[in-house]
Chain A
């Protein structure tokens, strides 16, 4: 579940008051979530060389170092902050490992890469994975359809769904990650859901 709630706040306050133990608790609290994010966002080609745990571990160390100044200013909610550190690290690695040679001048990688894996993950989640054997074949079909529908979504809409439903963020957190207002995040979410609905309906009729 999204866990940027009051417990995190309490820990941050304890940290700001000098309680070192709180720092550890804070990081551990969000580690699994972070790992999930890294796992499903990591380019499979990179995953062959670097383990998601490495990225998380390095993020933890950076976070531990910067935590004090974060806790004093709290420029954004905690998890989005932590995630941003991980994200930067991830982008760093992808750049170094994957874009080194083939990147042409002036060509930027997509701001928020949507890897096959993350797309697949989202699709898998959307159909759920209930243990009903009779539905297995149907499920595969549904998943393919969803996958196709997601492919059709605009990247920004897909991103908000990914943040909310794969990374378990609240829309407030997603807003902080996307650097838009909460209202805008809510609107984007609504639009994505509406668009997805239309796309799924179209696919069904085809």
Chain B
């Protein structure tokens, strides 16, 4: 049932009972019952004590925390009903973007709509800043169809957005009502009844009092019965007004990004207003695959918005979203009704919308053509500007010929393939999301194998391009992930294409680089106070042999010939340099010696600076290099070598330390540089453990799964007296790399010092079990024995 049986000694009975009490309590909580007999048979010597605990534990466990109405959480961020200059009057609604209140602005004595931003906005200063900038821009907009933004601000950590209060309903309300009524009407028709519709007292739709220029809009909320034409014209009119507003905003460089029915309001006169300008910025940073009520927003997003955050979004994205909104207003169906996020994303990216006239044959063909043009996947195929769109809608309203043309089938096919090619060049990272949905996509897409192949290759090509980008940024884990996606996309295709061969080779390279990183991390892991170079040497030999590169048996010239043209030759050179350094420090010298590795490295990576660093360093040279102009601008691979060199050379005067801190600021996102700097500060005299902790922490932020960093961070914390935190890091390291003996050894030392000899003992045994033949471990234990502390005691007991 647990591992207690391994450690239970008579002395531990109480501890065992304490443990059992907890586990029984948890069992009772989770399952409502506990198998007492099983516990008793496992611990016969304390069977009666276990029995006696039961009633009290059962009483304690007998409640359900979650169903307790006393703690039903109601969230009211404004309990005292004021926020700065605003007095809250009532809540108007809430959603993913926060809560909207009707409020009174006290200084100006006016009613406003006050939107309180969600916590997410507060969390990221960059998003917040971007939001503020956008909101300022939005506040500058002045148009009869755009809701005036009065201002943004924050008070007591709550960020808000104040805008004109529109007394009316949103288009979402309107669509909802119309949908309900159309169901009602259908039922009635079935019942052959001719009663007039009963007004819904709960309706949010205001009583429309048609004003002169918006008379036709009143028709929006009426049922399209005998004559449909006025209704369709009203929809077109509404679309034109929104397009006018958008055109004004776009001219000022403001893109809305979140046009949807719930962001378009109709006031009592039936006039339409675009609301929430600038707010989409907050959502822009959010991950589309997250939970939340983003689905409502997602439905109206343009294909380029759904693809990835880095997509270039321009005015044509708003045109798409308006198209999706008008589509729904006309047909009472969303363009894609799917409620599964992934399916929805797939369809937005790749499925042509069902033509509106299929859903309602009454819809005029021209209006359908306009809407479909707005909904084109390729921004280039939509109206270029909102003004152009407004003009076409105007022509429709006036019954004149529209400019939009419906593409013929052959045009659509051509467009499709052009789009495929064009998209690759727009932005490689954009299509990451598409790549993620490959599996479902291929099943769903047409059975036409040529089309399937084109899509698969496009996805693979884009993932490959993304991988290239990540590779250049040194982000190999992400590069590998992209390549895996590319491979997954190509797998269902028959036969070996040039692309699949390229992807395969690139993936193998990426895997190898990551493997080499692992080995390098291993060689830098502190075991006790020391490094285990022998394990690292063995791991390097194995890794290179796996890759098919027999570095230790081939001559340098032969090796160079094999990898001279490799796309990862810089990384190989870097690993070979490290291997050389490892060899140099081996207790028992091996052939070929370390110079062999550095020799190869110099030839496959002939960068003069790095090669200056790939020899026996002289301190004076290193200092000189640090003083050279543009030193900080060197690529991280050079700087990493440099930091390694100054670490070994103990170049640690104050000036050098300052230099290196600056270096880190310049390259804060480079994992290896942060790692090397942490090691540097471990070796200064005296060691700067606090700084080592800082840089290891940064490195960990970049690669949270790196066991070696957890281990070394643990060691640095341990050395700076933060033992409890050190133990936590060691534990994490051992979880991530459960087969590395010295993590357990480190953990054992820390636990022993912490006064937890029992657990320490377990980990020490684990270390011995894993590192039985390891000289470094025995060396460490031998040293430990001579000391006079808690750990020494444990070792002596062995």
Contacts and interface: CB of A to CB of B under 8 A. Distances in A.
Interface of A: 1, 13, 16-21, 23-25, 27-28, 31-32, 35-36, 39, 51, 53-54, 57-58, 60-61, 64, 67, 71-76, 121, 125-129, 146, 161, 164-165, 168, 170-171, 181, 183, 186-187, 189-190, 193-194, 196-197, 200
Contacts of B157: 58, 61
A61 B159 CA distance: 12
A181 B756 contact: yes
A38 to B, nearest CB: 10
Chain B contact residues: over half helix, strand or loop, or mixed? Answer: helix
Interface string B11-24: 00011011101100
14 contacts: A20-B285, A21-B286, A23-B123, A24-B123, A35-B71, A53-B76, A67-B123, A75-B722, A128-B62, A129-B63, A161-B60, A181-B756, A189-B22, A200-B56
A189 B18 contact: yes
Nearest to A23: B123
Contact of B704 (A17, A58, A189, A194): A17
Nearest to A37: B71
A123 B698 CA distance: 46
Contacts of A32: 71, 73
B22 to A, nearest CB: 5
Contacts of A21: 120, 285-287, 290
A121 B701 CA distance: 41
Interface string B715-726: 000000010110
Nearest to B722: A75
A190 B702 CA distance: 42
Given A61-B122, A75-B724, A127-B59, A16 B19 contact: no
Contacts of B286: 20-21
Nearest to A28: B119
A20 B704 contact: no
A76 B731 CA distance: 12
B701 A17 contact: yes
Given A51-B79, A171-B22, A186-B15, A76 B728 contact: yes
B25 interface: yes
Given A181-B754, A186-B18, A186-B21, A53 B75 contact: yes
B21 A189 contact: yes
Contacts of A19: 287
B725 A73 contact: yes
Contact of A75 (B70, B124, B728): B728
A157 B755 CA distance: 22
Given A32-B71, A186-B19, A72 B698 contact: yes
B697 interface: yes
B756 A183 contact: yes
B698 A20 contact: no
A51 B722 CA distance: 36
B55 A197 contact: yes
B685 interface: no
Contacts of A196: 56, 60
Interface in B38-93: 52-53, 55-57, 59-63, 65-66, 70-71, 73-77, 79
Contacts of B21: 186, 189-190, 193
B697 A72 contact: yes
A126 B62 contact: yes
Contacts of A36: 65, 71
B18 A1 contact: no
A139 to B, nearest CB: 11
Nearest to A121: B70
Contacts of A67: 123
Contact of B73 (A35, A75, A161, A183): A35
Contacts of A73: 693, 697, 725
Contacts of B166: none
Nearest to B15: A183
Interface in B111-136: 118-120, 122-124, 127
B645 interface: no
Residue of B57, B62, B722 contacting most chain A CB atoms (<10 Å): B62
Given A1-B30, A20-B127, 18 more contacts: A13-B704, A17-B702, A20-B120, A21-B290, A32-B71, A53-B74, A53-B77, A64-B123, A72-B698, A76-B724, A121-B70, A181-B754, A187-B14, A187-B18, A190-B18, A190-B21, A193-B60, A197-B52
B700 interface: yes
Contacts of B22: 171, 186, 189
A200 B700 CA distance: 51
A179 B74 CA distance: 32
A146 to B, nearest CB: 8
Residue of B56, B70, B724, B759 contacting most chain A CB atoms (<10 Å): B56
Contacts of B53: 190, 193-194, 197
Contacts of A24: 118-120, 123
A71 B52 CA distance: 42
A146 B119 CA distance: 41
Nearest to A18: B701
